């Protein structure tokens, strides 16, 4: 039997998916990337088109012929990432989120069952809603409003998780759930609606950085390289049916994040506060003990990850990476680490 793996990545033209496809292809696997490009971009995988072991198929995973088309490929592993993303998109793409998370996930799980493939599903910290418990462990059930303004994404992810769990129990599918906390890094579209690309975009345009709310809401950002290592690790060592949080270990307020980016870029723009356009979550912090027990830990600091993103965004870097630990003198969490980028 060949040791070369045949892998399907759904949502492979997205931010995380493109980084994952790149890792898998350059590690010697044969990779099919399926994506309908609703929030992804073909440019993010253009460098991979030169590889014979990589194929992009533009297709919606909710299509009724999805399983019949893909089942002949007999995948060894499936990374199921496809889902429209971005908090500002929740209203506009609510239907697509719900159908992708229900019908789409059901199709992908059926495919995994027919191929006898191992599957990893990328869920989200949003399944915890606006958490009341810190840090969030996998056993925390969260605080989610099923008809609230964020419900299309939050309940979509929760329903997908229920489907994965059912396929493990009823059909013996070898599948794990990974709950991703805020991830950033190279490969994010400059137009991505998430906070870090938005801050960069404003600086690039010479406009004020806009913070929605008072800026005291916290997030624990994780670099995409750490995430990709975690997804591959869970595929190799995870227990079917188990849920694994993955995310950064340091909480930072959105205001601190804006100040850090402002400081790193020598920007002359101001920070502007506006009322939030959607009900926001006060904070998020993952308990990652379970995935750490498999051998994972995050190694890329937020400052280094931000620096790595800057040239692609056309933002001048005013600081030398060797001086990073001396750069930022603001009030952000002093535990923010500055380890070398791997």
Task: Show the beta-strand stretches assigned E in the chain.
Answer: 6-10, 30-35, 54-58, 77-80, 118-124, 175-180, 183-184, 209-212, 218-219, 222-223, 243-246, 252-253, 271-274
**177-206 residues near ligand NAD, rule: CB under 6 A:** 180, 182-183
Query: Applying CB under 6 A, which of residues 29, 39, 136, 253 lies at the interface with ligand NAD?
Result: 39
Pick the catalytic residue from 153, 212, 244, 328. Answer: 153
Between 149 and 327, whose beta carbon lies closer to ligand NAD? 149
Between 154 and 267, whose beta carbon lies closer to ligand NAD? 154
235 binds ligand NAD (CB under 6 A): no
Does 328 participate in catalysis according to the annotation? no
Minimum distance between the CB of residue 70 and ligand NAD, rounded to whole angstroms?
A: 12
What are residue 209's DSSP bridge partners? 271
Under 8 Å between Cβ of 8 and 79? yes
Under 8 Å between Cβ of 44 and 16? no
Q: How many residues bind ligand NAD (CB under 6 A)?
A: 29
Between 62 and 136, whose beta carbon lies closer to ligand NAD? 62
DSSP state of 132: S
Query: Applying CB under 6 A, which of residues 21, 40, 218, 226 lies at the interface with ligand NAD?
Result: 40
**84-113 residues near ligand NAD, rule: CB under 6 A:** 84-85, 100, 104
Closest CA to 337 of 265, 234, 268, 248: 248
Separation between Cα atoms, residue 225 and residue 208, nearest integer Å: 30
3-state secondary structure of 189: coil
**59-78 residues near ligand NAD, rule: CB under 6 A:** 60-62
DSSP state of 323: G
Between 15 and 200, whose beta carbon lies closer to ligand NAD? 15
Between 80 and 267, whose beta carbon lies closer to ligand NAD? 80
Query: Applying CB under 6 A, which of residues 8, 9, 25, 81 lies at the interface with ligand NAD?
Result: 81
Minimum distance between the CB of residue 304 and ligand NAD, rounded to whole angstroms?
A: 18
20 binds ligand NAD (CB under 6 A): no
Angle of helix 151-171 relative to helix 105-115, nearest 10 degrees, comes to 20
- Host H or E run for residue 58: strand 54-58
Residues in CB range of 37: below 8 A, 6 or more apart:
13, 58
Separation between Cα atoms, residue 342 and residue 228, nearest integer Å: 13
82 binds ligand NAD (CB under 6 A): yes
Query: Applying CB under 6 A, which of residues 38, 78, 209, 315 lies at the interface with ligand NAD?
Result: 38
Count of Cβ atoms closer than 10 Å to residue 139 Cβ = 9
User: What residues are annotated to the active site?
Assistant: 153
Which stretches of the chain bind ligand NAD, using CB under 6 A?
11, 13-17, 34-40, 60-62, 81-85, 100, 104, 122, 124-125, 180, 182-183
């Amino acid at each position: 039997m060949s040791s070369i793996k045949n892998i399907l990545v759904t949502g492979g033209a997205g931010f995380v998916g493109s980084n994952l496809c790149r890792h898998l292809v350059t590690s010697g696997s044969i990779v099919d990337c399926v994506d309908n490009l609703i929030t992804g971009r073909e440019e993010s995988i253009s460098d991979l088109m030169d590889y014979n072991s990589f194929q992009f198929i533009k297709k919606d995973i909710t299509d009724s012929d999805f399983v019949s088309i893909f089942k002949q490929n007999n995948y060894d592993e499936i990374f199921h990432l496809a889902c429209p993303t971005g908090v500002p998109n929740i209203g506009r793409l609510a239907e697509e989120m719900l159908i992708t998370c229900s019908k789409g996930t059901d199709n992908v799980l059926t495919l995994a069952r027919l191929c006898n493939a191992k599957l990893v599903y990328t869920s989200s910290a949003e399944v915890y809603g606006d958490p009341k418990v810190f840090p969030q462990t996998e056993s925390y059930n969260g605080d989610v409003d099923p008809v609230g303004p964020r419900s299309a994404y939050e309940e979509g992810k929760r329903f997908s998780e229920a489907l994965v769990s059912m396929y493990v129990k009823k059909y013996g599918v070898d599948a794990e759930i990974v709950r991703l906390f805020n991830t950033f890094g190279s490969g994010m579209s400059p137009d991505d609606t998430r906070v870090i690309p938005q801050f960069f975009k404003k600086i690039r345009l010479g406009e004020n950085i806009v913070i929605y709310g008072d800026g005291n809401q916290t997030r624990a950002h994780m670099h995409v390289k750490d995430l990709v290592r975690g997804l591959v690790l869970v595929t190799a060592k995870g227990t079917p049916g188990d849920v694994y949080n993955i995310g950064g270990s340091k909480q930072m307020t959105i205001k601190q994040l804006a100040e850090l980016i402002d400081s790193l870029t020598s920007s002359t723009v101001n920070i502007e506060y506006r009322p939030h356009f959607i009900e926001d979550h006060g904070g998020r912090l993952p308990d990652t003990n379970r995935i750490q027990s498999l051998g994972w830990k995050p190694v890329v600091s937020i400052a280094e990850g931000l620096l790595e993103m800057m040239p692609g965004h056309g933002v001048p870097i005013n600081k030398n990476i060797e001086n990073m630990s001396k750069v930022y003198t603001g009030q952000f969490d002093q535990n923010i680490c500055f380890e070398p980028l791997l």
